[in-house]
Amino acid sequence: MNTPLLIRREAEVLILSNNNVAARNALSPEFYAAVTTALVQAAEDSSIGAIILTGEGGHFCAGGDLRQLAKRRELPVQERREKLEGLHHLIRAVRDCPKPVIAAVEGAAAGAGLSLALACDMLVAAKNSVFSVAYVKVGLTPDGGATAFLSEFVSRQVLTELCLTGERISGERMAQLGVVNRLAEPGQAIVHALALAQQVAQGPELAMSRIKHLCREAPRNTLEQQLELEAQYMVQSQESAESREGIAAFLEKRSPQFRQPASVPLTE
């Protein structure tokens, strides 16, 4: 059996790649566990500045394995819920990881694959990639936070249409909706994602973690709540070694050095 997740390093960037090519990278409990573990470990590794989540074989992720899902109808409700929590635990791990997580999407990102891509902090997509809230096509309802993430970009009416029709949306259309950070030529999503990841990976680790949290909370917070959170982080940041280095570098007209040199690249 193939390893569900391939792991490699490009300097300060950790690349996690779905490796279920025969099933267009359909999700599995083994994949959930492997990615969640990798994210937790990356959070503790100061040499990692950013993470890319992608897929092997020309597809990001076709969603849940329908053969496995078909078998679950015979299980008790609580057991079905427990199996679903593997996906939701992964979505929370992406959200809670202090490092920026970037999705690099080629081919299909459907169903829970769409949810996983949208859970990432930034998204790079090939122009001919295809996104779909495909659940309705097989009589299922969305999971993995798909409706929550899409509601941050589109109106309720558009969200309802996407979910009720399961319509396929191109990477170019997703960019028009404001979901995609960078559009790439087919086969080049990982190249553009790596360039973006290498750029942000040079930044101050603690400040970036706080910025990620601010951006995650902004859609849900009132203005007063967001002002309070910004105030807390600004006051804390002013006494950090990162701000000391950043301000000194600006005044001395040099590039700031926020990070130690990256460790030897890892592969799996």
How do beta strands 130-132 and 169-170 pair? antiparallel
Write down the pLDDT at residue 69. 78
Looking at the predicted structure, is the pLDDT value of residue 10 above 70?
A: yes
> Would you say 150 and 15 are in contact if contact means Cβ atoms under 8 Å apart?
no
Looking at the predicted structure, is the pLDDT value of residue 1 above 70?
A: no
pLDDT tens readout for residues 199-234: 999 999 999 999 999 999 999 999 999 999 999 999
How many C-beta atoms lie closer than 10 Å to residue 208's C-beta?
21
Identify the CA nearest to 135 among candidates 64, 75, 199.
Answer: 64
User: Three-class SS of residue 13?
Assistant: strand
Q: Which fold has domain 5-201?
A: 2-enoyl-CoA Hydratase; Chain A, domain 1 (3.90.226)
CA distance 208 to 218: 15
Q: Which fold has domain 205-251?
A: Lyase 2-enoyl-coa Hydratase; Chain  A, domain 2 (1.10.12)
> Would you say 240 and 206 are in contact if contact means Cβ atoms under 8 Å apart?
yes
**Range(s) of the chain covered by CATH 1.10.12:** 205-251
**Range(s) of the chain covered by CATH 3.90.226.10:** 5-201
Write down the pLDDT at residue 260. 64
Mean model confidence pLDDT for the chain? 93
- Mean pLDDT along residues 38-48: 96
Q: Model confidence at 259, in pLDDT bands (50, 70, 90)?
A: confident
Looking at the predicted structure, is the pLDDT value of residue 239 above 60?
A: yes
N-terminal to C-terminal alpha carbon distance within the chain = 15
Q: Model confidence at 265, in pLDDT bands (50, 70, 90)?
A: very low
